[in-house]
Amino acid sequence: MAFGAETTTDEVLSGVDLTGKRYLVTGASAGLGVETIRALRAHGAEVVGTARDLDKAKGALAKAGVDGVELVEADLADLASVRRGADAIVAKGKRFDAIIGNAGVMACPESKTADGFETQFGTNHLGHFVFVNRVAPLLNNPGRVVMLSSSGHRFCDVDLDDPGFAKTAYQPFVAYGRSKTANAQFAKGLDMRLQSRGVRAVAVHPGGIQTELSRHMTQEALDQLRSAAGSSGIKFKTIPQGAATSIWAAVVAPANEVGGQFCQDCGVAAIDDSDARWGGVKSYALDPKKADALWAKSEEMVGELFRY
């Protein structure tokens, strides 16, 4: 079966038995995270999910008919919470076949995380940077890390000289774009560091999906986004279609095909450095030197070194 933009999670996993496999998914309380967990569980996998609000996660999973999921509290906007959650997982010592960094925020008003970082960069990137690196030693060989990026990375590259908008005016979608580029560059950095251990890392764009991620956007902004997408021939996806690329990259895609790449619509995206708002992946998102620079800056910001 050929996979594409309209492929669903169940289609990706058709005929796949995940009994004995174990996955870790951040963002277990809504949208893509819940669907990702549902699909994995439906095919026999063990799943650990993280969430800021465990009661909300329990309710969302129950509503989706999902049971048997181990939940761990981890607020990505609070590094103390991230470290507690990661340490609790590591203390159990159980291994994983893949980590899927799914949680995130989008286009929120200017604000700071508990550690004083700009909220989108701090939550989407730095929270995952610490969490994934702390848990990565538990990954099996072969193993995967999937980081959810976005076509929003096309808005802009990361600004390592001004990650918190101290020198420039805050713009919600610029901040979002920086954080999604950081997700892709982090995946690239992980892939460079972990592939010798049999672990490959990949960034994915799930597609345009209206989930709780858009909760900070006004209806007017949402309408404008839909209009712009429609004029570009972009169709919004269902949640099962949106989570399909994460599942594909984590479970069924050939490791050497997706490792260090940016994927969308259940395939590897082509480099596209045009000014188009939608399209393939900007080359800066996969630049090894930029990935290394981001890694060093991230270590500096969180006060923790991760060496492999």
| Bridge-based pairing state of the strands 262-264 and 267-268 | antiparallel
Q: Which of 28, 29, 30 is nearest to 48 (CA)?
A: 28
pLDDT on residue 77: 98
pLDDT on residue 203: 98
Name every residue whose Cβ is closer than 8 Å to that of residue 270 and which is 6 or more positions away in sequence. 280, 281
pTM for this prediction: 0.94
pLDDT band at 169 (very low <50, low <70, confident <90, very high): very high
pLDDT on residue 212: 47
* Cα–Cα dist 209/213, whole Å: 9
Q: Mean of the per-residue pLDDT values for the chain?
A: 93
Count Cβ atoms below 10 Å from residue 40 Cβ, excluding itself.
30
pLDDT, tens digit, for every residue of 188-232? 999 999 999 999 999 999 998 754 445 555 555 555 555 555 545
Write down the H helix ranges in the chain. Answer: 9-12, 31-42, 54-63, 79-92, 119-120, 128-135, 172-194, 219-231, 239-242, 244-247, 255-258, 288-302
pLDDT, tens digit, for every residue of 106-149? 988 999 999 999 999 999 999 999 999 999 999 999 999 999 99
Q: What backbone phi and psi angles, to 5 degrees, belong to 47?
A: -135, 135
| Element at 46 (helix H, strand E) | strand 46-51
Name every residue whose Cβ is closer than 8 Å to that of residue 234 and which is 6 or more positions away in sequence. 208, 278
The token pair at 260 is 């260090």
pLDDT, tens digit, for every residue of 238-280? 999 999 999 999 999 999 999 999 999 999 999 999 998 888 9
pLDDT, tens digit, for every residue of 59-105? 999 999 999 999 999 999 999 999 999 999 999 999 999 999 999 99
Spell out the domains of the chain, with CATH numbers in brackets. Answer: 12-300 (3.40.50.720)
Measured between alpha carbons, how far is residue 213 from residues 210, 216, 222, 243 in Å? 7, 8, 11, 14
Name the DSSP letter for residue 110: S
Instruction: Just list the catalytic residues.
Output: 176
pLDDT on residue 278: 82
* Cα–Cα dist 108/172, whole Å: 6
**CB-CB contact of 34 with 28 (8 Å):** yes
pLDDT on residue 112: 97
Percent of the chain topping pLDDT 90? 87
